[in-house]
Amino acid sequence: MSEDREIIEERVFKNNESVVVQRYAKGHFLGKGGFAKCYEFINMDTKKVCAAKIIDKATLTKNRARKKVCLYYNV
């Protein structure tokens, strides 16, 4: 895997209050929708390939747009 890829970290908060950090390498651009872009991501530990939508926070200023997205973090 190329070292010049963008690395994204996800912090997963477990019920026992521990935090697991998962790292992903951003891969190919897959497509674009109304307010998100979809990319391939590769888990750095398991090498599993998945897809993720990247949403610019600036697009979530309208209440209607916020309702379309299920968020676990405050934006």
CA distances from 24 to 51, 54, 67 (A): 11, 13, 27
Per-residue pLDDT, 12 = 86
pLDDT at 36: 87
pLDDT digits (tens, 9 = 90+) for 22-67: 999 999 999 998 778 999 999 999 999 999 988 888 877 777 777 7
Supply the pTM of this predicted model: 0.69
Contacts of 28 (CB under 8 A, 6+ apart): 39, 40
Backbone φ, ψ for residue 20 (5° rounding): -110, 130
Task: Say what the pLDDT of residue 75 is.
Answer: 43
Fold of 7-68: Phosphorylase Kinase; domain 1 (3.30.200)
